[in-house]
């Protein structure tokens, strides 16, 4: 499968790229810093650009793809700068123009309606510390839901750098307690499994142990 990954240099993005290559997919990485993927450069197609500013480069990257994955994020900051919403404003029109229909967006548990299922302590964190980050993600989701594309929105709980286990729960709603966690490696594993055998088209997928 031809797969385009936005956010390929992030911790989840690198898991996606590595696992996709190991599963035999042809991967295009859209990045601002190509040197961050130097170790995998020979196995990748790399397109350099800023997704929120370089519309022509986004359109170039989307051409010929069968799946677009967004693993974009703001890493350790609590300021969104509307990154995810602005990225969807660029990605969605480029996909429509290129006739590419399938997209998987990595969002976060606690965004939108998923907040109703949050345990007490994470729920407080979502409402206070992550309010701006989550509002940006929700705006991006609204754009995607209205796009007419074949989307899946993935809601991972608290992300860790733990190992790939392949053992996790996924559903539109999950019963969660305490501070639920999931490794980035397992999130990437689920996304690629969903790419290969879709079960959550035009649905959300909460993922946790």
- Torsions phi, psi of 98, nearest 5? -85, -5
Residues of the chain with pLDDT under 70: none
CATH number of the domain to which 158 belongs = 3.40.50.720
Q: Which domain range does residue 184 map to?
A: 2-208
Q: How many Cβ atoms from other residues are within 10 Å of residue 34's Cβ?
A: 15
At 41 the pLDDT is: 86
The total of other beta-carbon atoms located within 10 Å of residue 167's CB is: 8
Instruction: Report the domain count for the chain.
Output: 1
For residue 72, the model assigns a pLDDT of 97
The reported pLDDT for the residue numbered 79 is: 82
Query: In this structure, what token pair is assigned to residue 137?
Result: 């993600």
Pair 172, 203: CB distance under 8 Å = yes
Tell me how far CA of residue 52 lies from CA of 47, 58, 171, in angstroms. Answer: 14, 9, 31
Within 13 A of 77's CA, how many CA atoms are on the CB side? 8
pTM, full prediction: 0.96
């Amino acid at each position: 499968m031809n797969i385009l990954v936005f956010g390929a240099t992030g911790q989840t993005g690198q898991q996606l790229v590595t696992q996709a290559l190991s599963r035999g997919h042809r991967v295009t990485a859209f990045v601002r810093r190509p040197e961050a993927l130097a170790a995998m450069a020979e196995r990748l197609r790399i397109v350099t650009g800023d997704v929120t500013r370089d519309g022509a480069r986004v359109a170039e990257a989307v051409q010929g793809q069968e799946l677009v994955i967004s693993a974009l994020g703001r890493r350790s900051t609590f300021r969104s700068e509307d990154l995810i919403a602005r990225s969807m404003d660029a990605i969605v029109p480029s996909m429509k123009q290129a006739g590419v229909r399938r997209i998987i967006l990595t969002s976060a548990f606690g965004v939108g309606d998923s907040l109703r299922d949050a345990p007490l302590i994470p729920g407080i964190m979502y409402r206070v510390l992550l309010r701006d980050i989550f509002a940006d993600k929700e705006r991006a989701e609204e754009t995607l839901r209205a796009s007419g594309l074949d989307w899946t929105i993935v809601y991972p709980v608290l992300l860790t750098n733990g190992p790939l286990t392949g053992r996790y729960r996924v559903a539109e709603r999950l019963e969660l307690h305490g501070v639920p966690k999931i490794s980035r490696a397992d999130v990437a594993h689920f996304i690629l499994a969903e790419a290969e055998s879709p079960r959550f088209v035009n649905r959300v997928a909460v993922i946790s142990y």
